[in-house]
Structure 1
Amino acid sequence: MAIKRVKASRKKTVRARPKRLPYSVNPANQSTSFQRGYDDGYLRGRAHFIMNRAVEPSPVRPLHVLYVSSGKGFPYSPLDEAIRGTLRDMVTTLHTAEPHEPVAEMTALLKPDLVLVLDGMYFPVEQVDAIRNQGIQTAIWLTDDPYYTDITLNIAPRYDYVFTLELNCIELYESHGCSEVHYLPFAAYLPQFHPSKMPALHRRDISFIGSGYWNRVNYFNPLLPQIMSHQTVFNGIWWDRLPDFKKYKHKIELNRWMSPEETKEVYNGTKIVLNLHRSHEDDSVNNNSLKIPALSPNPRTFEISACATLQLTDARGDLARFYKPGVEIETYETAAEMMDKIEYYLANEDKRRAIALRGFERTWKEHSYHHRMESLLQTIFGS
């Protein structure tokens, strides 16, 4: 009887895999990217809670307004869009015109209650005179005070109402024959500037968006080694004036105008947005021979805060009228203070986020174009 030889089979040893532990949601154990996503999500959630609160709509005024745009194109065109878009919801009839059009002929046919002009530098004053001779009220909202007052002093007295975004210019216009001069700073156009629902396309520690005026170039250049050591991007024209431009050009988006949508995305994805106002003494770009100093915040002040982003700005004299420093916005008086606050808020996310949200809520409640247009119409037509 043949005996079959059978090979002994070795039993394969299966080692048990270690049990996978659930990932901790403790921020201390999360990766940097996960933590930032968590922080961004929390901030956006809080911001949208504020946005979605019930707000009683203002009644539509039974008014006919003819709006004359600046005619200057970008970057003024977003201001024109903001004013037109806001007025459409506030008055029963709105017509628009460009400054090169025969607006006086249009008003003779349309008979509006008000002709509102933005900037006015491209709009012939003879047209303003002809409109007023028809018994139609006129108003101008000056966009660049006090930087071009040598020019605007010849324009403003031709209007019934003058609105200026610079507090220091009120007495100046009054002394040149303007009987109705009112302080009306710009604001944030909330359909353009607001917290994004989705994660931001750009992720930065520090951003600055604006032109490289000489005061900004001279201020930032000594600080670039510290500022650029973070995830930082500057954007705007003239930054090749920086003596150290070649060293940092990979972090500077030169000569590219950013649309409101692009700007909003940058603000949403940046931890700290810097703001540094232009100088009233720069004769290379200004027409301000009287050297009238600027007290009031620029439009960027409101647009940054409208995106629920921490803003670090130089402290202008009238800023506290709009935001409480250290609570709703952060300020600096010196370059050393600016750098100290950059490092502090990059290391303290909760405090950065709290100020950003308070600034956003203040903007939402008080500093939209709806608020500004309501103030303008109330000044002219009453309650």
Structure 2
Amino acid sequence: MIKKLFVVNGKKLLKKSVRTLENRYRKAVNRILINRGNFFVEKNSDLILGDNNRFLEVQSFLENSQQRYLSYLEANTNFNKLPSKKKLKVDTNCKYKIQFVGEKFKNINVSLAVIFYSENKKISIEFININKEKIIIPNKKSKYIRFGIRIKGSGKCFLKEIRIFKISNCIINKSKSPKKIINDKPKSIKELKIAGIFDDFTMRCFQGMCKVISFNPDNWNKILNKDKPHILIVESAWKGNGGSWKWKVGAYNKNYIKGLKELIKLIKWCKQNSIPTVFWNKEDPVHFKRFIKTAQFFDYVFTTDVNCLKDYKKFLNHNRVYCLPFAAQPKVHNPIKLYENRENKICFAGAYYAAKYKDRQVDMQRIFNAAVEYGLDIYDRHFEDNNPNYLFPSKYKTYIKGKLVGDEINKAYKGYKVMINVSSVKNSDTMFARRVFEGVASYTPIVSSYSKGIKKIFGDIITSSDDINELKEAFKLLMNDEEYYNQKALTGLRLVLSKHTYEERLHYILSKVGMGISKKSPKISVFSIIRSLKEFKMILKKFKSQSYDNKELVLILKEFEGNKNIVENYNNKNIRSFLLSSVNNDSKIMDIFKGDFISCFSNNNFYGKHYLEDLALATKYTEANIIGKKAIYSFDKKSIKNSLEIKNNGCEFEYTDDLLSSVCIIHKNLLKSKKTREIIFEFSNDSSMKNYSKLGYSMFSIDKYNFIQNCNYNLKDYEIISKVEI
């Protein structure tokens, strides 16, 4: 017997005690009463069935290792067979919550088997223990459903009913079917089209790398049918897309489904068009309850806090839940110089919470007290709001300089020598403020209150402590020791650009939804003119020591004994050799150099492990045609002491009109019109690149580290190396 409990669309509810909001908005809840009339058991099964008006009694005499099945409606327990009697159809546009109600005694184990079938075969089975429930998303090929009850071991049980809640179609009034979308897989991140609901900060971070289609609750259908996305990504937005989704993403009251109405329609439309849906709660763990009910409607869920994964999986009843911390967007957060000189002070940009987060108040005052000795400027997010809940203690009022709006945040990120972070969430491996990634990407060292996540991800790059002596020591070193300062700033920048950008995060999302796009980093062709076997060995060693992977070595060999052996033995994917005599002006540059950029290595120079990596990472934040180092360490050959000096000191992270050909990477497209031999000799002779600037090509200078000009290749002065190599 199947009995309808209630129907929502205009009909009176028969069971008013159903309290969950989900149930109030479901179209129907079906109830299968379990009795001898609708459940079949094989003869000689060691199961005895008794019946009364309220439940089916089952007495089992099975051994613990044995199991038997009861079958709903079908007179067989072969669940590989398609149902032949009353076929229960499946709506694959919905998900089902199924409850199995009853009682069991002693050692007996009782489970409900939910079997799904296509037109011609069984495709999946789900088990639900007695007095448990499970949310099931049917396979898209599912057509029919069948129920069985599995009994294991001996004992007695009372089987009462199976409750079936159809979750999705109920909430949304059926709209006209949108045009079917052909989701061609994008070949690159730039080609990816995201239908997104983001707050302003996240919107800026995603817009810089792919096409983000923005829309509001009133026009999403029209816009998305016209401009068809590959994926829907919705974050835990407070306002969303310029304020149009305010109050329409989170659960703000008991009647939250009403607020989510348009969002749920959007999700349904995406499912009908095979567009994966992703929800990212950037507010975990503090606002977990605000957004958990929203998350249930999405195919995939991501959270900033790894500690929340277990709770999500328990509530959602699936494992498509992953951790996604904040990151930096290099097009927005980068070390490109904005000010000729930074304020020789420490900066904090954020809010003070006077009415909550008592531990945070203590942490903030501790770190401020450690910083004031070196000069402190505070930018108050709630400046002039006159809200007592956000007022800084009076003793800090003299340090408050106002507030930063929009792009003005760069004043905090790039205008001061050191930034302060205060963590509200202290014990998460992954959740801490986005300002940490963004500040580090701006080449600004950070000192923070204790955060387990900061320590785990950044290690000793960031001092993260609640010990005032450690905080004072960190400020002292950063404000007074230039080598220490740059070591922290450069290693932090490299870490963020290589592992913690929003492009990295987006690749991770796509890999989980089955839309993986191969990562692409620029290939660098390193070439060198080789004059002897000794030079060959040294250049090969320098090349292999580089941390950057996507590179090739092109050896241009002059006449010397053994050069032909090198050509014979070093011609593979990553190392290729040419006799200089065979390279003529008719040789095509594309045939010799396979990379996107070209660089020259010389035996006269020292190249640190991260030399190529840092140049390649700069392509993430600058579109310059030539990227190099204008400020460089160099041995002065004219000096009696042959001392180490810095040329063009301070010319770092800025656009310039000249670089040396021996300390840069140049985009290959700039060289197409040049003769091959001309290129080889130009690059190997420390030539000025000023002519390229006159032709309108842009040049960018990064940091001065990991390179020494005019350096003896037998350099073993580790004190010098440790000063230059970061």
Higher relative contact order (CA 8 A, sep 6+): 1
Residue 208 of structure 2 is aligned to residue 208 of structure 1: no
CA drift at 1:298: 2.2
Question: Distance in 2 between the 1:242 and 1:106 partners?
Answer: 40
User: 2:205 — aligned with what?
Assistant: 82
User: 2:220 — aligned with what?
Assistant: 103
CA drift at 1:130: 4.3
Any conservation in 2 of the 1:80–1:118 contact (CA below 8 Å)?
Answer: no
Question: Distance in 2 between the 1:106 and 1:81 partners?
Answer: 20
Question: Distance in 2 between the 1:234 and 1:62 partners?
Answer: 38
1:207 is paired with a residue whose SS is strand
Which of 192, 198, 208 is equivalent to 2:332? 192
1:229 is paired with a residue whose SS is helix
User: 1:295 — aligned with what?
Assistant: 429
1:154 is paired with a residue whose SS is helix
Structure 1 residues 262 and 203: alpha-carbon distance in aligned structure 2, compared to 1, 3 A threshold: same
Q: Which amino acid aligns with 2:484?
A: K
Any conservation in 1 of the 2:292–2:312 contact (CA below 8 Å)?
Answer: yes
Any conservation in 2 of the 1:271–1:346 contact (CA below 8 Å)?
Answer: yes
Q: Which amino acid aligns with 2:466?
A: E
User: 1:250 — aligned with what?
Assistant: 398
Which of 509, 516, 520 is equivalent to 1:382? 516
Any stretches of 5+ residues in structure 2 without a counterpart? 1-185, 239-247, 250-259, 518-726
User: 1:117 — aligned with what?
Assistant: 234
Deviation track 1:117-143 (CA, whole Å, cap 9, x = no partner) reads 122563424222343244432111222
Question: Distance in 1 between the 2:203 and 2:378 partners?
Answer: 26
1:112 is paired with a residue whose SS is coil
Range moving further from structure 2, 185-194 or 218-227: 218-227
Structure 1 residues 131 and 315: alpha-carbon distance in aligned structure 2, compared to 1, 3 A threshold: same
Any conservation in 2 of the 1:310–1:352 contact (CA below 8 Å)?
Answer: yes
Any conservation in 2 of the 1:310–1:330 contact (CA below 8 Å)?
Answer: no
CA drift at 1:212: 0.9
- TM-score by structure 1 length? 0.69
Question: Distance in 2 between the 1:117 and 1:244 partners?
Answer: 34
1:191 is paired with a residue whose SS is coil
Q: Which amino acid aligns with 1:263?
A: I
User: 1:143 — aligned with what?
Assistant: 282
User: 1:21 — aligned with what?
Assistant: none
Deviation track 1:207-234 (CA, whole Å, cap 9, x = no partner) reads 1111113443332335645532322111
Q: Which amino acid aligns with 2:201?
A: P
CA drift at 1:264: 2.2
User: 1:126 — aligned with what?
Assistant: 264
User: 2:381 — aligned with what?
Assistant: 237
Any conservation in 2 of the 1:200–1:269 contact (CA below 8 Å)?
Answer: no
Any conservation in 2 of the 1:268–1:309 contact (CA below 8 Å)?
Answer: yes
User: 1:218 — aligned with what?
Assistant: 362
Question: Distance in 2 between the 1:311 and 1:238 partners?
Answer: 22
Any conservation in 1 of the 2:192–2:230 contact (CA below 8 Å)?
Answer: yes
Any conservation in 2 of the 1:140–1:161 contact (CA below 8 Å)?
Answer: yes
CA drift at 1:160: 0.3
Any stretches of 5+ residues in structure 1 without a counterpart? 1-57, 71-75, 89-93, 281-292
2:210 is paired with a residue whose SS is helix
Which of 268, 290, 295 is equivalent to 2:414? 268
Question: Distance in 1 between the 2:285 and 2:462 partners?
Answer: 24
Any conservation in 1 of the 2:443–2:489 contact (CA below 8 Å)?
Answer: yes
User: 2:294 — aligned with what?
Assistant: 155
Structure 1 residues 139 and 336: alpha-carbon distance in aligned structure 2, compared to 1, 3 A threshold: same
Any conservation in 1 of the 2:205–2:329 contact (CA below 8 Å)?
Answer: yes
Structure 1 residues 111 and 341: alpha-carbon distance in aligned structure 2, compared to 1, 3 A threshold: closer
Question: Distance in 2 between the 1:248 and 1:371 partners?
Answer: 39
Question: Distance in 1 between the 2:307 and 2:490 partners?
Answer: 30
2:214 is paired with a residue whose SS is strand
The alignment covers a number of residue pairs equal to: 299
CA drift at 1:315: 3.8
More strand by share: 2
Deviation track 1:15-46 (CA, whole Å, cap 9, x = no partner) reads xxxxxxxxxxxxxxxxxxxxxxxxxxxxxxxx
Deviation track 1:88-133 (CA, whole Å, cap 9, x = no partner) reads 3xxxxx53223x3343565456553321212256342422234324
Question: Distance in 1 between the 2:315 and 2:437 partners?
Answer: 30
CA RMSD between the two structures: 2.9
Question: Distance in 1 between the 2:327 and 2:475 partners?
Answer: 25
Any conservation in 1 of the 2:412–2:419 contact (CA below 8 Å)?
Answer: no
Structure 1 residues 200 and 59: alpha-carbon distance in aligned structure 2, compared to 1, 3 A threshold: farther
Question: Distance in 1 between the 2:324 and 2:278 partners?
Answer: 12
- Structure number with bigger Rg: 2
Residue 208 of structure 2 is aligned to residue 68 of structure 1: no
More helix by share: 1
Any conservation in 1 of the 2:346–2:374 contact (CA below 8 Å)?
Answer: yes
Question: Distance in 2 between the 1:275 and 1:377 partners?
Answer: 31
User: 2:489 — aligned with what?
Assistant: 356
2:205 is paired with a residue whose SS is helix
Structure 1 residues 243 and 334: alpha-carbon distance in aligned structure 2, compared to 1, 3 A threshold: farther
1:361 is paired with a residue whose SS is helix
1:248 is paired with a residue whose SS is helix
Any conservation in 1 of the 2:346–2:376 contact (CA below 8 Å)?
Answer: yes
Question: Distance in 1 between the 2:380 and 2:209 partners?
Answer: 28
Question: Distance in 2 between the 1:77 and 1:314 partners?
Answer: 26
Question: Distance in 2 between the 1:192 and 1:61 partners?
Answer: 17
CA drift at 1:258: 3.0
Any conservation in 2 of the 1:204–1:233 contact (CA below 8 Å)?
Answer: no
Any conservation in 1 of the 2:338–2:415 contact (CA below 8 Å)?
Answer: no
Structure 1 residues 317 and 235: alpha-carbon distance in aligned structure 2, compared to 1, 3 A threshold: same
Deviation track 1:256-305 (CA, whole Å, cap 9, x = no partner) reads 2432x32223222322211111248xxxxxxxxxxxx5332321111011
User: 1:18 — aligned with what?
Assistant: none
1:158 is paired with a residue whose SS is coil
Give the percent of matched residue pairs that are identical in Structure 1 and Structure 2: 19
Range moving further from structure 2, 174-183 or 265-274: 265-274
